C-alpha cells in the first residue's frame, strides 16, 4: 500500500516570501510518523544516501552544500552523527564553524566560508554557517545594525553564485522549544561524560532566547529563495529530526540523477590474469 503521509520536503519547506512565526510551529510535530514506523524508513533512507553519494563522488559533476542551523542543543551534532554518517568521508567534509580567527577577521565575513564550499562530486556539511553573521552577530551587537542588516542580501547573492556554479544547497533549521532546550542542557549537566559540552555561557545565551528567535525568523523570511530554501525541522523528537533530514536530502539528491560514468577506455576484451 502506498504511503499516504505528506512529503516531508513539501511539508517543511519555507516558501519564498513566507513570514515564519516559530511560535506557531510545533517542534514536537511528527507529520503522521511514529517512532516505530520511522526506524525502518530511516534505515532505508540512509542506505539510499550511501548509494547516492557514491554515484555523486564517481560522477564528479554535482557539488552539494548542506547547512545546519539551530539554537544551542537543537541537534546539529546529533544530525551529523545519525544521518551524515551515511556518507563516505572520502567525498564528504564537515566544518563546525567557530568564532572567526584574527586572520579571518582581516577579510570579509564570507571569505572563510567560500574556502569550505564543495567541489564537484563533494558534499560539504556546515555545522553552523555564514548565517551566524545575521544571528549571533546580530543578537550580541558585534557589528552595527547598518552593517548586519545588509548581509541578508549579500548572503543571497553569495548563494546565487554557488547555485550558478552548479551547487545544490540544502538548508535545515532545527527547531526545538525552550522547555526542550532546558531538558537537554540539564541532561548535559547531570552526565559527567557530557560536561565537556556544557559551558556556563550556554546559560547566558539561553537568556537571549527571544532575541535569537527574532533573528531566526528574519533569516527564514529573507533567505529562503525557491532555488535554496530553508526547511524548518521539528526537532523535539530526535528520531523525527533524523528521518526528516534524511528524507529531504535523499529526495533532492535523487533529482540530480547521479550515475556512474562509463570507463574512459574500451574494456570489452580485458581479462585479469
In tens, the pLDDT along 131-184 reads: 999 999 999 999 999 999 999 999 999 999 999 999 999 999 999 999 999 999
Q: Residue 1's pLDDT is what?
A: 42
The band of 264, judged by pLDDT with boundaries at 50, 70 and 90, is: confident
Going from N- to C-terminal start, the domains of the chain cover 12-179+210-255
Query: Could you report the per-residue pLDDT of 245-261, keeping only the tens digit for each?
Result: 999 999 999 999 999 99
12-179+210-255: CATH superfamily: P-loop containing nucleotide triphosphate hydrolases (3.40.50.300)
Q: Whole-angstrom Cα distance, residue 113 to residue 129?
A: 8
**Grid cell locating 110:** 564570507
Q: What is the mean pLDDT of residues 75-90?
A: 96
What percentage of residues in the chain have a pLDDT greater than 70? 98
What percentage of residues in the chain have a pLDDT greater than 90? 95
Q: What is the mean pLDDT of residues 202-208?
A: 96
Which of 269, 254, 243 is closest to 3 using CA atoms?
Answer: 243
Amino acid at each position: 500500500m502506498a504511503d499516504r503521509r505528506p512529503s516531508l520536503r513539501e511539508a517543511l519547506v519555507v516558501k519564498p516570501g513566507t513570514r515564519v512565526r516559530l511560535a506557531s510551529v510545533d517542534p514536537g510535530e511528527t507529520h503522521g510518523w511514529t517512532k516505530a514506523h520511522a526506524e525502518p524508513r530511516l534505515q532505508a533512507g540512509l542506505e539510499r544516501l550511501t548509494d547516492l553519494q557514491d554515484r555523486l563522488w564517481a560522477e564528479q559533476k554535482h557539488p552539494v552544500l548542506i547547512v545546519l542551523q539551530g539554537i544551542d542543543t537543537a541537534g546539529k551534532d546529533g544530525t551529523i552523527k545519525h544521518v551524515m554518517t551515511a556518507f563516505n568521508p572520502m567525498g564528504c567534509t564537515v566544518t563546525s564553524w567557530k568564532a572567526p580567527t584574527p586572520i579571518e577577521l582581516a577579510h570579509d565575513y564570507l571569505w572563510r566560508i567560500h574556502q569550505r564550499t564543495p567541489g564537484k562530486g563533494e558534499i560539504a556539511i556546515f555545522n553552523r554557517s555564514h548565517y551566524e553573521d545575521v544571528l549571533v552577530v546580530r543578537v550580541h551587537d558585534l557589528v552595527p545594525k547598518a552593517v548586519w542588516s545588509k548581509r541578508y542580501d549579500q548572503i543571497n547573492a553569495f548563494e546565487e553564485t554557488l547555485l550558478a556554479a552548479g551547487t545544490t544547497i540544502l538548508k535545515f533549521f532545527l527547531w526545538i522549544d525552550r522547555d526542550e532546550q532546558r531538558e537537554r542542557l540539564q541532561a548535559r549537566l547531570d552526565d559527567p561524560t557530557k560536561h565537556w559540552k556544557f559551558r556556563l555561557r550556554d546559560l547566558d545565551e539561553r537568556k537571549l532566547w527571544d532575541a535569537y528567535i527574532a533573528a531566526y525568523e528574519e533569516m527564514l523570511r529573507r533567505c529562503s529563495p525557491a532555488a535554496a530554501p530553508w526547511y524548518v525541522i521539528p526537532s523535539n523528537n530526535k528520531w523525527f529530526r533524523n528521518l526528516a533530514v534524511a528524507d529531504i536530502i535523499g529526495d533532492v539528491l535523487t533529482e540530480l540523477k547521479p550515475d556512474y560514468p562509463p570507463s574512459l577506455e574500451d574494456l570489452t576484451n580485458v581479462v585479469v590474469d
